[in-house]
Structure 1
């Protein structure tokens, strides 16, 4: 039969346990939320079936995919503050999403913790009231408007990564999904003006001020 593999990076094991929902294999980028400081290159694979676990372990050892002791130490250090970091980032993400909703120049704000998100009810059921720290939004216009927004939001690092204590901004059309055609990106819901914000632990007012200033620059204010 088919093997169900779930990437649980965005939710983390603190929010969602894929094995409880029928997953056979779970993968997770520890580099992101669990370590939390963008200084670790680490991931893990967990398997329900002992035969799968053995095969994965043998492949990792044979191909040199084992992590360094220092990366493991850094990840363990990060785990000590994970609960506090992730809770703070989720609270701030909710405030950012609510603060951006309805702002001039924005055509869409997506956060599963908002009632207007198409999958809000499903997320609430699966995640027990936790909705993560990822906020997406869409500005009106094309690449010129995108470039003005990025330049004006210069205090928020522009990076395709996520899960850091610092908030980072990503533009999929020019980074993670640049290899796809505009039509393929549109099928995934990603327009030219689509941004992804990985919210960190900074004060929400500080982040909203930076984002609103960037929107004002796009709108010519």
Structure 2
């Protein structure tokens, strides 16, 4: 697979001075006599809740990243999820998603019943999802390429076929994999979602989301819903996301390189019960990940420590370089406790089946020197009683 950031910087931006960097248009309104000036996709450029030139430039870049025809930039990842779902779902719709998915996404889906949307939760294996699709044709399916936090790999290519055979629409959250590892639209997926807060922006300093579609008419309808919901990204944040994209390929590859070394190290540590990382040959997803991701396996490693909840607390308090905090995809290594964070909304009856318990930790491997990360982990693991 080629570099996903190849040729994404060539889109012309309107600037009378010929600046190399796209200008940040902070204006709320734009000049309008009777008709407004249309943007390049035909919608009026009159008010920044609807359309903004800096945001529009980012959207062209996001569409090129995922090989889509157009994109919408939103003010965070959940804004992308909610805008996409609300524009597609209607009363009587069926929404299929795995129990292991970002907790807030799952919480939103579960609460869609107030709009007479039936949410069907399955186990996160490809076969379980395929069976749910076959049993519920004409559905909307929302999955992650890599599941959060157990890093299961979903066979997207297979689910594309099953979805099409059953007149269903597949939406893929590609946040963890990024377009560097995998581009779902190239494999027949209709809509791709990102929390661009993570690897796309890449610096832990901006909230951003993205919806990318393979067909223009899909974006046109979602644009109307973004306008109504007010979920557009702000121009300054769009500028920061654009800045992050320029180094994304370099960053993601280094994240993956460091993560592979960390996963190998943890696999051989006496205080570790189990390591979850598709790059390990011991992973049941290694073969599929190797086929899908072109030799890269992501920048996140999940693992279970030997010890109780208090042991986990001691471990987290002993870290010096790695910061206990939610989120991922930035230069800093961050570690989080899924059972009280991202996985908290997962129904209790699923947590045990999924393997999510009080010994599980999710490490977003940063860009620090990998030996420094290992030394920090080693020192903290030694403190577990």
* TM-score where L is the length of structure 2: 0.55
Q: Provide the rounded CA distance (Å) in 1 between the counterparts of 2:168 and 2:322.
A: 42
- SS of corresponding position for 1:14: helix
2:193 to 20, 27, 46: 27
Alignment of structure 1 residues 177-196 onto 2, 5 Å: 177-180=343-346, 182-196=348-362
| C-alpha contact (below 8 Å) 2:334/2:365 kept by paired residues | yes
Matched, 1:134 2:300: yes
Distance (Å, rounded) in 1 between the aligned partners of 2:347 and 2:227: 37
Matched, 1:96 2:265: no
- For residues 68-91 of structure 1, give each alpha carbon's deviation from its aligned partner in whole angstroms, at most 9, with x where no partner exists: 110111111111221221111111
The more displaced of 125-134 and 15-24 is 15-24
After superposition, the CA RMSD in angstroms is 1.4
Q: What SS is found at the alignment partner of 1:5?
A: strand
Superposition deviation, residue 96 in structure 1: 0.7
Question: Structure 1 residues 173, 154: CA separation in 2 closer, same or farther (over 3 Å shift)?
Answer: farther
- In the alignment, which residue of structure 1 is the partner of 2:290? 124
1:217, distance to aligned residue in structure 2 (A):
0.4
Match of 1:14 among 180, 195, 200: 180
**Superposed displacement of residue 51, structure 1:** 2.8
Which among 246, 253, 262 is matched to residue 87 of structure 1?
Answer: 253
- Structure 1: any 5+ residue segments left out of the alignment? none
- Alignment partner of 1:2 out of 168, 172, 182: 168
**Cα distance in 1 between the residues matched to 2:275 and 2:363:** 11
Distance 1:61 1:209 in 2: 49
**1:109 correspondence with 2:275:** yes
C-alpha separation in 2, matches of 1:60 and 1:183: 35
Deviations 1:194-216 (A, max 9, x none): 11111110011111111111111
Measure, in 1, the Cα distance between the counterparts of 2:241 and 2:326: 20
Residue 201, structure 1, aligned to residue 367, structure 2:
yes
Q: Provide the secondary structure at the position in 2 that maps to 1:4.
A: strand
Q: 2-side partners of 1:107 and 1:182: how far apart?
A: 22
Any conservation in 2 of the 1:168–1:199 contact (CA below 8 Å)? Answer: yes
Unmatched segments (≥5 aa) in structure 2: 1-166
TM-score, reference length from structure 1: 0.94
Q: CA deviation at 1:141?
A: 2.4
Larger Rg: 2
Instruction: Determine helix, strand or coil for the equivalent of 2:180.
Output: coil
Q: 2:328 aligns with which of 162, 166, 177?
A: 162
Counterpart for residue 337 of structure 2 = 171
